[in-house]
Amino acid sequence: MKNIKFNPIKYLFLIFLCFTLSACSGGINAGLEAYQSPDGRYAFLYPTGWTRAVRKPN
């Protein structure tokens, strides 16, 4: 059987990392807005605060 040494620093770092990453989420779609095409063929999420760009024909 392998000799496994208990290292509390690894476990504390792992717990710290989990709390740090989960603190950024704030919700299921934190900071994202949903968009679906008018014909319903595709959908995606984009960051909150982005505005729609107007494309000018060439």
pLDDT tens track of the chain, all 58 residues? 455 667 788 888 988 888 877 666 666 666 788 889 999 899 988 888 887 788 888 7
**CA 24, 29, 33, 39 torsion: positive or negative?**
positive
CB-side exposure of 48: number of CA atoms within 13 Å? 4
Answer whether residue 4 is part of any domain.
no
Which domain, by its residues, includes 54? 28-58
Hey, what are 32's tokens? 């994202």
Give me the number of domains the chain comprises.
1
Distance CA 35, CA 12 (A): 40
Answer whether residue 3 is part of any domain.
no
